Amino acid sequence: MHYYFKVLQNYATFTGRARRQEYWMFVLINTIISFVCGMICGMLGYPELANLYSLLVLLPAIGVAVRRMHDVSKSGWYILIPIYNLILTIQEGDHGDNEYGADPKSETI
């Protein structure tokens, strides 16, 4: 949950780098919350609430994806390329500093 809240705190930060663990933990927790929220809101008859949650986390999700692209020395625009962006999110990030910032693995949690 630490990484999920870290991404939400940096909701509009499109600079810097995000390591693989931060990105994939956010994706996992966001998927679980979206599924549970969708189920509960669907049973209550208010599916619009699930859509509202998805809309609220859209900007943080884009932000962490852009920072993930920066970690592999690519522009944030690479998130628009369907299969290639998946390959880039799986790759290990650059060791040491790159043009987008310091190595996030060297930072303490």
Q: Where are the alpha helices (DSSP H) in 1-109?
A: 2-9, 20-44, 47-56, 58-71, 82-90
* Model confidence pLDDT, tens digit, residues 26-80: 999 999 999 999 999 999 998 889 999 999 999 999 999 999 999 999 999 999 9
pTM: 0.89
Alpha carbon of 99 to those of 59, 63, 72: distances in Å?
23, 17, 10
pLDDT class of 106 with cuts at 50, 70, 90: confident
Alpha carbon of 47 to those of 34, 44, 56, 60, 74: distances in Å?
11, 8, 15, 22, 37
Would you state the pLDDT for residue 68? Answer: 95
Q: Which residue has the tokens 């998130």?
A: 79
